[in-house]
Chain A
Amino acid sequence: QQQVKQSPQSLIVQKGGIPIINCAYENTAFDYFPWYQQFPGKGPALLIAIRPDVSEKKEGRFTISFNKSAKQFSLHIMDSQPGDSATYFCAARGGLNFNKFYFGSGTKLNVKP
């Protein structure tokens, strides 16, 4: 079964909008939650990550919101730009195999000029 569930599958926003991508997990042993950005034909690039003792983290235009009780976390992209058009993946580390990572299925973001 999928350990990390990601939604939506695709997202279209206008330039300057704030796309929000959501992920949910079940395993409370997960202890690290990164987000990756991937362009076609490239490997995923680490954007930002959070640990469960923090409810929010900001790096530049990217913000992670983390709700431990709901077992959900989300990525917000402020002032989105056409160059942000890419596929975004959430992930979670840990569980029985502490160094194993589980990825969501991805969200394809299109930021229209």
Chain B
Amino acid sequence: DTGVSQDPRHKITKRGQNVTFRCDPISEHNRLYWYRQTLGQGPEFLTYFQNEAQLEKSRLLSDRFSAERPKGSFSTLEIQRTEQGDSAMYLCASSLGSGRYEQYFGPGTRLTVT
């Protein structure tokens, strides 16, 4: 068990480009969360999955954002037509579920939109 991993760790892109981030949760964790964190703020909930089902999406998640978790394993977060306001740290976390609420975070993907 190597913890939650995220790829890439850093991404610099030009405004208008599409980007995709990947998260690999702790094996056997059936819940997976995406958060966005800007400088000096706490993580803000974006969406979460129970296995492969996306059960909740924040209003922060505009139509340009989409997330998937095929087969209930890894997850991807795609941002289309990036804007400068999308620059942030994107964090993934996983938890076991079944009454176990402890969330374990990955190292994050730092997105910079120029």
Interface residues of A (CB under 8 A from B): 6, 32, 34, 36, 41-46, 49, 89, 91, 93, 97, 99-106
Contacts and interface: CB of A to CB of B under 8 A. Distances in A.
Interface of B is mostly: strand
B105 A97 contact: no
A104 B42 contact: yes
Contact of B105 (A6, A43, A49, A104): A43
Contact of A44 (B44, B55, B91, B110): B91
Contacts of B25: none
15 contacts: A44-B91, A46-B104, A46-B105, A89-B42, A89-B43, A91-B42, A93-B101, A97-B56, A99-B48, A99-B55, A101-B45, A102-B45, A106-B40, A106-B41, A106-B42
Contacts of B43: 44, 89, 101, 103
Contacts of B102: 34, 46, 49
A32 B101 contact: yes
